[in-house]
Amino acid sequence: MDVARLMGPHNGLHIAKFICREVPIRIAHIITIIDGLPEFLKVLPFLKTVRHWYLETLDDLLFISKYIEPLRNGSEETSFYVRHLYDVAKRILKRHEGVVLSISLAISDLKRDGQDVFDPKLQAFLDRLFMSRIGTRVVLHQFTNVYEHFANVSTDEASLANIGVFEQHVDIPALIEEAALNARSLMMKTYMDAPVVNVTYPQLKDENQSITFSYIPSHLYHIVFELLKNSLRATVEFHKQDDFIPAIDIVVVKGKEDITVKISDQGGGIPRSALPRLFSYFYTTANTEDAFDALRNGLSDMNHAPLAGFGYGLPLSRLYAQYFEGDLQLISMEGYGLDAYVYLKSLPANARERVVECTS
> Which residues belong to the active site?
222, 226, 229-230
282 scored as a contact of ligand ATP (CB under 6 A): no
Q: Which does 309 bind (CB under 5 to 8 A by kind): ligand ATP, Mg ion, none?
A: ligand ATP
197 scored as a contact of ligand ATP (CB under 6 A): no
230 scored as a contact of Mg ion (CB under 5 A): yes
Q: Distance between the two ends of the chain, CA-based, in angstroms?
A: 27
284 scored as a contact of ligand ATP (CB under 6 A): yes
Residues 242-271, one symbol each (x = binds ligand ATP by CB under 6 A, - = not), give: -----------------------x-x-xx-
| Three-state secondary structure call for residue 292 | helix
308 scored as a contact of Mg ion (CB under 5 A): yes
313 scored as a contact of Mg ion (CB under 5 A): yes
Helix 76-95 vs helix 12-35: crossing angle, to nearest 10: 30
Q: Which does 248 bind (CB under 5 to 8 A by kind): ligand ATP, Mg ion, none?
A: none
Q: Which does 278 bind (CB under 5 to 8 A by kind): ligand ATP, Mg ion, none?
A: ligand ATP
As a whole number of angstroms, the distance between CA 235 and CA 338 comes to 10
Contact pick of 283, 320, 324, 343 for ligand ATP (by CB under 6 A): 283
**Running DSSP on this structure, what letter comes out for residue 353?**
P
As a whole number of angstroms, the distance between CA 172 and CA 83 comes to 35
Q: Which of 318, 191, 317, 340 is nearest to 270 (CA)?
A: 340
User: Least Å distance between CB 102 and ligand ATP?
Assistant: 16
* Ordered DSSP codes for 43-61: T-HHHHHHHHHHHHHHHHH
As a whole number of angstroms, the distance between CA 340 and CA 269 comes to 11
57 scored as a contact of ligand ATP (CB under 6 A): no
Count helices and strands in the chain by DSSP H and E runs: 12, 7
As a whole number of angstroms, the distance between CA 1 and CA 10 comes to 16
338 scored as a contact of ligand ATP (CB under 6 A): yes
Whether the CB-CB separation of 136 and 144 falls below 8 Å is answered with no
Contacts to ligand ATP from residues 33-52, by CB under 6 A = none
Whether the CB-CB separation of 216 and 229 falls below 8 Å is answered with no
CA distances from 29 to 50, 105, 183, 208 (A): 14, 24, 36, 47
278 scored as a contact of Mg ion (CB under 5 A): no
User: Least Å distance between CB 231 and ligand ATP?
Assistant: 5
Q: Which residue is nearest to Mg ion (CB)?
A: 313
194 scored as a contact of ligand ATP (CB under 6 A): no
- Chain positions contacting ligand ATP, by CB under 6 A: 226, 230-231, 234, 265, 267, 269-270, 278, 283-286, 305, 308-314, 338
- Chain positions contacting Mg ion, by CB under 5 A: 230, 308, 313
